[in-house]
Amino acid sequence: MKKMLLFALISVCCSGCFITKKIIIKKVFRNPRVENTASIRSFLTKNKFDTTHSYLFKSDTVKDKTRQFIKRMFTRYAIFNSEGQRLCYNGNATCGGVQFKELIAGKKDSFSSCSQKTLRLQEELPLIMNFKRKPVTFQDLPRADYYLLKYWSKAQAGRKGYEEEIGWMEDEIEHNKAGLKIIFIKVNFDIKAEDGFQSGAKIPFHVYLNNGGTDIKMGPIPMKK
C-alpha cells in the first residue's frame, strides 16, 4: 500500500469578493505535480530564463512541505539592504512591483528597516539550497546595494506566470536608471521527488469557500515506494 501524505489545509484570509478570489487562485495555480531538480532546471533552460541566483526551497519535515507550499503561494517580493536587513514599505514586510519601482527610482521615503521580529536575509538563506542541493550563505552572494527575494512555482501558470512574476522584474533591475546593484534571488518552492515523493505525481489541489474565507486543500501526495 502506498504511503500517502496527509491533507494540508490552510485558511486564507482575504477581503472583497471571495468567489473572485477562488477563481483567481484556480486560474493562476494549475494542479501542481511533484517536480525534481532536473525538471526545474529544464524548465528554466528550455524557456531561456536567466538562472543566475536561482535556488530551491527546502523544508525540514515531510509534513511541513505542503504547508510551506501553500504559504509561499501568496508571498510577494522581499527587499533587503546591503547588510541583509529587511526593508518594509510603509510598515509592510513585503511589497509589490509598483513599490519596488519606487525604490529603484530613488523614492525611498516610504522604505525603512523592519522590526527586529522580521528575518534578516542571513536567516532566510538557510531555507534555500542551490541546484547541487548545497547550502547558500550570505557570503556566497556578491555585494550589492539591495537584495530582492521572490518565491516561484512551475504550477504558478507555467511560463507565463514566471515571466509575469520574475521576468519583468529582471528587466526592471537590469535597466534601473539609478545604476543600483541589485541581486535578485529566485527560489523555486515546488515539492520535489528528492524529498521522498513520487516523481511526476499529480498533487490534488482544491479551493473552497468557507465562512467568508478561502480554504485550500492540497494532497494527498504519493510517496516513493
- pLDDT tier, 11 (very low <50, low <70, confident <90, very high otherwise): very low
Judge whether residue 21 has pLDDT over 80: no
Radius of gyration of the chain (CA): 18
Cα dihedral 16, 18, 20, 24 in deg (nearest 10): 110
Lowest mean pLDDT among 41-50, 52-61, 139-148: 52-61
CA 137 to chain centre: 18
Q: Which residues contact 127 (CB under 8 A, 6 or more apart)?
A: 57, 58, 59
Lowest mean pLDDT among 22-26, 70-74, 195-199, 210-214: 22-26
Judge whether residue 72 has pLDDT over 90: no
Cα three-residue angle 210-93-134, rounded to 5 degrees: 95
Cell numbers 531538480: residue: 37
> How many CA atoms does the CB half-sphere of 225 hold within 13 Å?
2
The answer to whether the CB of 151 falls within 8 A of the CB of 40 is no
Cα three-residue angle 141-170-37, rounded to 5 degrees: 65
How large a percentage of the chain has pLDDT more than 70?
Answer: 78
Q: Which residues contact 104 (CB under 8 A, 6 or more apart)?
A: 172, 173, 176, 177, 178, 180, 182
Average pLDDT over residues 10-27: 42
pTM, full prediction: 0.82
What are the boundaries of each domain within the chain?
A: 8-218
CA 148 to chain centre: 12
Q: For residue 87, which of 158, 146, 15, 32 has the smallest C-alpha distance?
A: 146
- pLDDT tier, 128 (very low <50, low <70, confident <90, very high otherwise): very high
Q: What is the pLDDT of residue 1?
A: 38
Q: What are phi and psi of 66, to 5 degrees?
A: -70, -35
Which residue would you say has higher pLDDT here, 216 or 173? 173
Judge whether residue 14 has pLDDT over 50: no
